[in-house]
Amino acid sequence: MSSLQTASGESPLGDPCFYIDADVSRGWPHQSRSTLCKFGVTDRKPEDRCEENERALQEEWGIKTSLEVVFVATGQITTAEKEIADYTRPWLTGPFQENSEWRRCPPRELARIAILVAEDRQR
């Protein structure tokens, strides 16, 4: 486990965490290239944020999914959200606006890129 990851999947009280939610209803991990993912930073439990994201997809865009938290990390990665968004912009998908944090991509690849971007910022 990277020093950026947390084992519990929960954000310690008051500490922000970076998270990735993935739609597990459409073949992930077997069809991971087409997985709808959402990343972001929150100071709440990632599971609670995941539920909000799932509701927002349904209510705002009419997209029915089954999201699960697939990655949680704390530390320097929480300050790299904009760089991660910029780096993964080619994966921006569908009806989402340009500044959206929704991507259609392999969740593992998104997590790997997020870690690399955060580590690069430390140098």
Per-residue pLDDT tens digits for 51-63: 999 999 999 988 8
pLDDT band at 1 (very low <50, low <70, confident <90, very high): very low
- pTM attached to this predicted model: 0.84
CB 85 within 8 A of CB 79: no
Domain definitions of the chain by residue range: 17-122
- 3-state class percentages of the chain: helix first, strand second, coil last, to nearest 5: 40, 20, 40
